[in-house]
Chains A and B, each alone.
Chain A
Amino acid sequence: MTLQVSPDASVRAADPDDAGRLIFYYRSSRMYSALLDQRREPVMATRDELAEMLAGKDRLGGQLFALMDCSGSVIGFGGLRGASLENLTGEVFLLLRDDSDYAASSARGMLAFLLDRAFGRMHLNKVLAVGLVEEEEGWRTLLRETGFHSCGVQRQIVYARGRWFDLETFTLKQETWLNAVQHGPLPAAG
Chain B
Amino acid sequence: MKHITVLGAAIALAGSLVAGSASAADITGAGATFPAPVYQAWAVAYKEKTGTGLNYQSIGSGAGQTQIFNRTVDFGASDAPVATDKLAQQKLLQFPAVIGSVVPIVNLDGIESNKLKLTGPVLADIYLGKIKKWNDKAIADLNPGVSLPDQGIVPTYRSDGSGTTYVFATYLADVSPEWKSKVGAATSVSWPAGAGGKGNEGVAGTVKNTKGAIGYVEYIYASANSLVTVQLQNKAGKFVSPTVPAFQAAAANADWANAKDFAASMINTPGDTTWPITSATFILLPKEPKSAAQAKEVMNFFDWAFKNGDSIAEKLHYIPLPTDVADRVRAAWKSEIVADGKPVWSN
Physical interaction between A and B:
no
Binding site for A on B (CB under 8 A): none
Interface residues of A (CB under 8 A from B): none
